Structure 1
């Protein structure tokens, strides 16, 4: 993954991301993804796999964002995270193929159509996200809605609700994890790239 050499960004951006700034995270995402895509595709050889790997890599980056300002070579780290996610994806695919092949032998010739992955539209995704948000505990739901719907930063939410900024940031991370787990349980995973590019 040598494509990172042409990518540069301000270190202040990493500090903002470490502080829970979603807009700064979106900027980082948009700056780095064009270089990540061809590198990931070389490994996974799949457009869908490439998007899934990048999604998982950036979830990992967000969950460990507090480490970003301390990294001497953040782009090296980011590409290493993405490479690791690429190989994890390949291992999962190998296991999935093994199980699918065994199941396919028990199906009629057209039976594979019944288990073909369904493409999730943005409308369906929004509906599932809404359902997931409605199931969050009251305070977690409020904090998430203030962040996503009102565009408030963690420090602003903390001030309004008389909470610490770190508590708000952690609550947002937990809320996003809960939403993602809800979608996974429904057999769908929120396309993180769409979520970021909407910002």
Structure 2
């Protein structure tokens, strides 16, 4: 009997501890929120502080909304396949993140591997056109008739010369095994993006 009473006491203690841990975990979120608000940390915007009279700041203070750059998208395909942007142009502010989708379809009756090489006009824009996600310089394999969409996410550096108001981003798509031109000067290879495709290797 004594052993049974001891077991019951132990079970009771464990239940109390479990309830205490559950209560602490439940209260942890509001406690964390109050601490962050008091210290002004882990806050995405000034408006989240709920300070009376506090002005909201734009999500990205690096965006130059006094300027607008027209970005034109051009594509060239070396081979019997379809390759085009979803839109032909868009207007963006320097420092603003923008994304454009590219459509590609292998219309041949056999599997093919291909890759794209970008170029820019005017040439000086290359150093200020920062691609955060891109399918260029990576080889991809597509089955006969297979169709894919690839994103290009980019930001134009606000330090771009104010004389430049239009940038043309041009991609030339080559079938691997053909003659592939060298990478344009000043443009580093980028192998991110197009996660739905399986790279076959780099050239």
Under a length normalisation based on structure 2, what TM-score does the superposition of the two structures give?
A: 0.23
Bigger proportion of residues as helix: 1
What TM-score, normalized to structure 1? 0.23
Higher strand residue share: 2
